[in-house]
Structure 1
Amino acid sequence: MAENGSAAGGGEDRPVFRLGSMPIGTPATPATAPETHAEPAFAPAAGTATPNSELPTEAAPAPAEIPAPAPSAPVPAAETTSEPAPVAVPETAAVVPDPETAAAPSEPVSVAAPAPAEPAATVPPRAAPRGVSVAGAIGSLLVLLALVLVTLVPGLERLPGVPGSESATVELGRSIAAEGVGAALAPAIDPRASVGLAGLQAAVATGFGQGADAPLVVLRSISIAAVILAVALVFAIGWVLKGPFAGLVAGLFLALSLLAQVGARIAGPDAVVLLASVMALYGLAGIARGTAVPARLSALLFWGGLGLGLAVAGVGGIWIPLLAVLILVIFGWPLARLSRLRPSIGLPAALVIGLAPAVAVAVVAGLPAALQVAGGDVFARMRDSFTLTADGLPLPPGAHAVLLAGAFWPGSALLPFALAWLVRQRTTPAAGLALAWLAPAWIVAELMAGKRAGDVLPLYPVLALLLGLAAGDAALRIGSRLKSLMAAWLPIGAVGLAVAVNAVHVIGVGRIEPIGLGATFLGAAGTIAGWRALVAGDFRLGLTATALGAAVILAAGFGVLLWPIDRIWPAAFIAAAF
């Protein structure tokens, strides 16, 4: 458009043409305007001073396939005695002078022709990098699952049965497979047994064609599958919240944690409750990310997880997700966000799935037995006194936090850095979800009188996710001497675990196992090398060496050394914790 400007010292108005918001011509003044030649300069040489040479020439943004605009014609400035009519100039078109002002003779003003616009860099379509990311994520997931299988499968059939929830559930499952549901549920049910899991074990044993004679490893396969699926879902949650690398780190630390390894090898409800909790966690993480995750998938996993947890462990299998939802609503999550979970459909479906074992017990054994199955044992143990029972250990509050150092190794060595990241990121949706899931449930678990390791196992996926999210923000790097000392639990724990599993074998059998001894200390050496790489600043190499070293220790320990664990003196104490 044209604007009038007063020349300094001249008192006359000259039009100023603008391309968008950028002036093309400036009013010449007797004091400042340089002398020009009669012929207009259409394309002044580089370095030639023109009235417009001090003004930047910007090409309008255009796609790469649109040709650059043609050089503009010279624009002579003319004297006017009245304000000319505005002339609309398209941003990408050449500047056309106003006919009224161009008619009057005037000193020409040289206008630098805009340089031809360079073709913009070709931007790949959105689907291309997404495809590469998906392919890389699938590869990372396959590597992760292979590592899980390497650590879980060895020695599965050699580990002895654990008294408590595993023995009671296995006995009930074999009774259902041999006699049917009615005959098996008619007698008094052991309160430590999981009716829902026993029915699932009976179905698996019958499917393998072995029925009540199925070996323990067949019944334990349910726990192994549950842990593998939980690790895969933790990987998916990390991918949703931060990216595939965060998911890989989170899945690694959950899969390698000692408590998850033990839970996968026991035919009790802990591993299935872990899977149910991770399913519900994925649903909440999905709606926290908004439209990045389909609402139908979030709702399916959330309510499916609640139904599975209720069926396997009663209220004790779903209290952590429900408490997390309550905290999220209290501290600011709008109900409209939770409505994306479709509770009108999901809640009835979860109740149908979750209450099926209780209904079966009610039909056979009556309502009181059904209420016991649906309620679980979590509230009863909260009312118990501090006595050693089959349902837990008489440990004071804070015991879970102390045991975390060993039960969550190797992740516990880097957990302080992840918690520091959580404090800094506490206002983000991911950190808020982690706090709501972790803090209240951990306090309740510490207040329980009889403590079981499985009570806090559903919280370990959040700890692993914190490590993954912090790694995605490069917050796990060890750069100072203080941090390297804080992370020294990584090599110390590796050496301690190698010594412990060999000691169990020596005490139980009375001799050293050379293969187990060499493998465990080789794994410890790999973990030490990983710690040194982390201290040196190479996080990926350090993570790889640490994961491989820990995997070797676990595979050799459970596969070769720990099978006589029932012969050592703390066996009853360890069994009571599970």
Structure 2
Amino acid sequence: MAIQTAGPEISYRIPDRMDRITASRARSAIVLVVLALLAFLPGFFQIPPIDRDEARYAQATRQMMETGNYLDIRFQETPRYLQPVGIYWLQAAAAKITGFDARAPIWVHRLPSLLGAIAAVGLTYWAMLAIVGSTGAFIAALFMASSVLLGMEARLAKTDAVLLATTIGAMGVLARAYLGQALSSATAMMFWVALAAGMLVKGPLILLVVGSTTLALLAWDRSLAWFKALRPKLGIWLFLALILPWFVAIAIVSGGEFFITAIGHSMLGKVAAGQQGHGFPPGYYLLLFWLTFAPAALFTIVAAPWVWKNRNEPAVRFCLAWIIPTWIIFELIVTKLPHYVLPTYPAIAGLIALAMLNGRQLGPLLAWTLVAGAVLLVAAIAAALYVVAGTVSIAAIAVSLAAVAILAWGVQRRQSISPATFAATIAIGAIMVQGAALGLVAPKMDNLWLSPRLAAAVARNAPCGTPQVVSADYHQPSLVFMVGTNTILGFPPDAAKFLASGGCRLALITERSEQAFLAELAKLGRTAELAERVNGMNLGKFGRESVGVYRLRAS
């Protein structure tokens, strides 16, 4: 049975100009890049560093630039041997190119993630051209650009947006090989370069996705003859040539500790135990999917029966092989974080697009549920700003209501407009709501961003231009990034001894530690004065925090 990849044969009752866009790859690419920028830029420059991972990546990169050591990875004096060096090099390159160097603000460290997310949208379009055709590829890329999870990763100085881009690049070549499309030597080598890039960014996770897909197809077809189109005899050597220099160097520099930590503790340790409080049972990703892949997730309900019916079609089979093994593996691993299954989302988007192009459409209940969900989200955004900051944002409300109107328009006319136009209205509406939340609301929630306010308090109360700072019990990495690499993270006795030594020093003491700090200081024959108190949320611990800024009282 043949399946449609260029859209069902239906007659639209109103003119549909989306066909002019999807008919041209250049126009499609331009529109997708513009939408990706509109999706990912709101809040990108304004939101402070997020604890804990983003601040750790950014601080480790800053220390590379401060020391000139671009081989080893450290957070202050502690080795950070969880992932390879790729993302740190990319962040350092961004800091150098922009001229900020080691003084780079957090948004500069986020640039690789922003570019990675935009590339992921573009590569979804490119990869899906081989699988679902030009219109389906455009729809799939729209749903990636508007997904909640990719929008979050685009704004975080972490590995996952870049890893996603490398994974989609590799899978796009793999799909062309599997579907029997001619591959030039350059395209085949792109597969191995993408694998190497993914390895240098986050280790073997890209191999898990690509490898499980390949093995699933082998089990399904009982043949891997198509894999020869990737020129593995040459490609494997290229792959090794790209990754081995750093991996060998770090093995020597760390005395093998990098592999013990990265593989033994970080990777294998996640399989059997929930690390850092992120242990969840199977089903976690399925439960989160309805939020993390919103708004497109709702379309899976109507797409799933069609996908199952057509599971033996090569395009559908490839996407299922891309999704199912990876998803099952991550559901079985005890440690779970939302972004682990992000590399499967392009394939899900592609299957949704195929189902839409073959006449599967949201019914009235699901369609208007989408609009109702948007209304509830807008109300929640407005309420959150009022509760946290005691204010409202008229601009955010206006943008959100306009987004709801666009969604309602698309839902009302979904039977008479093309699938691509309907997908575009859903994506644009979602992008506007997310932009209002992250660009107009989140930056105003000052109480959420404690470390930047502590850094400002240090600057206001410092007895000199470059004070030495100790923090007792508030140990968030964002504080080190905001205040400086030499910030000491300790406990009340450490803080008391540090401050008692005199000089240009300040101590940041949490309210729960103040009594112990002052008592220890008294034992040393010194007293301190409270210069300022800063209250807010400790996002690393998901609780409120009150921190006093103390300086030594003159004797």
Secondary structure, aligned partner of 2:50 = coil
Q: Deviations over 1:309-353 (max 9, x none)?
A: 111111234311111111111221522210111111111222332
Q: Following TM superposition, by how much is the alpha carbon of 1:412 offset from its aligned partner in structure 2, in angstroms?
A: 0.8
Partner of 1:14: none
Q: Deviations over 1:269-305 (max 9, x none)?
A: 11111112101210111112213x4243542232122
- CA distance in 1 between counterparts of 2:323 and 2:61 reads 33
User: In the alignment, is the contact (CA less than 8 A) between 2:270 and 2:335 conserved in 1?
Assistant: yes
Which of 414, 420, 432 pairs up with 2:305? 420
- CA distance in 1 between counterparts of 2:253 and 2:162 reads 25
- CA distance in 2 between counterparts of 1:460 and 1:376 reads 27
Q: Structure 1 residues 332, 464: CA separation in 2 closer, same or farther (over 3 Å shift)?
A: same
Q: Following TM superposition, by how much is the alpha carbon of 1:519 offset from its aligned partner in structure 2, in angstroms?
A: 0.9
- CA distance in 2 between counterparts of 1:514 and 1:520 reads 10
Which of 166, 189, 199 pairs up with 1:276? 166
Count of matched residue pairs: 434
Q: How does 1:478-489 map to 2 (within 5 A)?
A: 478=362, 483-489=363-369
Partner of 2:402: 522
- CA distance in 2 between counterparts of 1:494 and 1:535 reads 21
Which residue identity is paired with 1:511? T
User: In the alignment, is the contact (CA less than 8 A) between 2:307 and 2:316 conserved in 1?
Assistant: yes
User: In the alignment, is the contact (CA less than 8 A) between 2:127 and 2:169 conserved in 1?
Assistant: no
Q: Structure 1 residues 489, 355: CA separation in 2 closer, same or farther (over 3 Å shift)?
A: farther
User: In the alignment, is the contact (CA less than 8 A) between 1:140 and 1:248 conserved in 2?
Assistant: yes
Partner of 2:341: 456
Which residue identity is paired with 1:491? V
Which residue identity is paired with 1:160? P
Q: Following TM superposition, by how much is the alpha carbon of 1:141 offset from its aligned partner in structure 2, in angstroms?
A: 1.8
Q: Following TM superposition, by how much is the alpha carbon of 1:261 offset from its aligned partner in structure 2, in angstroms?
A: 0.2
Q: Following TM superposition, by how much is the alpha carbon of 1:167 offset from its aligned partner in structure 2, in angstroms?
A: 1.8
User: In the alignment, is the contact (CA less than 8 A) between 2:117 and 2:165 conserved in 1?
Assistant: yes
Partner of 1:263: 153
User: In the alignment, is the contact (CA less than 8 A) between 2:142 and 2:424 conserved in 1?
Assistant: no
Secondary structure, aligned partner of 1:334 = coil
Q: TM-score w.r.t. structure 1 length?
A: 0.70
Pair 1:236-2:116 in alignment: no
Partner of 2:352: 467
Partner of 1:346: 235
User: In the alignment, is the contact (CA less than 8 A) between 2:143 and 2:423 conserved in 1?
Assistant: no
Q: Following TM superposition, by how much is the alpha carbon of 1:413 offset from its aligned partner in structure 2, in angstroms?
A: 1.5
Which of 282, 289, 293 pairs up with 1:404? 289
Q: Following TM superposition, by how much is the alpha carbon of 1:205 offset from its aligned partner in structure 2, in angstroms?
A: 1.2
User: In the alignment, is the contact (CA less than 8 A) between 1:196 and 1:357 conserved in 2?
Assistant: no
Which residue identity is paired with 1:246? G
- CA distance in 2 between counterparts of 1:573 and 1:532 reads 44
Which of 383, 388, 399 pairs up with 2:272? 383
Q: Following TM superposition, by how much is the alpha carbon of 1:256 offset from its aligned partner in structure 2, in angstroms?
A: 0.2
Partner of 2:316: 431
Pair 1:139-2:27 in alignment: yes
Q: Structure 1 residues 267, 427: CA separation in 2 closer, same or farther (over 3 Å shift)?
A: same
User: In the alignment, is the contact (CA less than 8 A) between 2:83 and 2:202 conserved in 1?
Assistant: no
Which residue identity is paired with 2:284? A
Q: Which has the higher contact order (CA 8 A, sep 6+)?
A: 2
- CA distance in 1 between counterparts of 2:414 and 2:243 reads 45
User: In the alignment, is the contact (CA less than 8 A) between 2:173 and 2:187 conserved in 1?
Assistant: yes
Q: Structure 1 residues 467, 510: CA separation in 2 closer, same or farther (over 3 Å shift)?
A: same
- CA distance in 2 between counterparts of 1:181 and 1:508 reads 41
Q: Following TM superposition, by how much is the alpha carbon of 1:182 offset from its aligned partner in structure 2, in angstroms?
A: 6.1
Partner of 2:44: 156
Q: Looking at CA atoms only, which structure, 1 or 2, has the larger radius of gyration?
A: 1
Q: How does 1:306-317 map to 2 (within 5 A)?
A: 306-317=195-206
Which of 225, 239, 242 pairs up with 1:336? 225
Partner of 1:321: 210
User: In the alignment, is the contact (CA less than 8 A) between 1:520 and 1:556 conserved in 2?
Assistant: yes
Pair 1:215-2:109 in alignment: no
- CA distance in 2 between counterparts of 1:404 and 1:242 reads 22
Structure with greater helix percent: 2
Partner of 2:327: 442
Q: Structure 1 residues 137, 471: CA separation in 2 closer, same or farther (over 3 Å shift)?
A: farther
Q: Structure 1 residues 275, 376: CA separation in 2 closer, same or farther (over 3 Å shift)?
A: farther
- CA distance in 2 between counterparts of 1:190 and 1:509 reads 35
Partner of 1:561: 441
Q: Following TM superposition, by how much is the alpha carbon of 1:251 offset from its aligned partner in structure 2, in angstroms?
A: 0.2
Secondary structure, aligned partner of 2:400 = helix
User: In the alignment, is the contact (CA less than 8 A) between 2:145 and 2:427 conserved in 1?
Assistant: no
User: In the alignment, is the contact (CA less than 8 A) between 1:530 and 1:542 conserved in 2?
Assistant: yes
User: In the alignment, is the contact (CA less than 8 A) between 1:258 and 1:408 conserved in 2?
Assistant: yes
Over the matched positions of the two proteins, sequence identity in percent amounts to 27
- Which is worse superposed, 429-438 or 187-196? 187-196
Q: Following TM superposition, by how much is the alpha carbon of 1:423 offset from its aligned partner in structure 2, in angstroms?
A: 0.7
Secondary structure, aligned partner of 2:221 = coil
Q: Structure 1 residues 310, 289: CA separation in 2 closer, same or farther (over 3 Å shift)?
A: same
Partner of 1:363: 252
Q: Structure 1 residues 406, 133: CA separation in 2 closer, same or farther (over 3 Å shift)?
A: closer
Structure 1, gaps ≥5 residues long: 1-131
Q: TM-score w.r.t. structure 2 length?
A: 0.73
Q: Following TM superposition, by how much is the alpha carbon of 1:488 offset from its aligned partner in structure 2, in angstroms?
A: 3.7
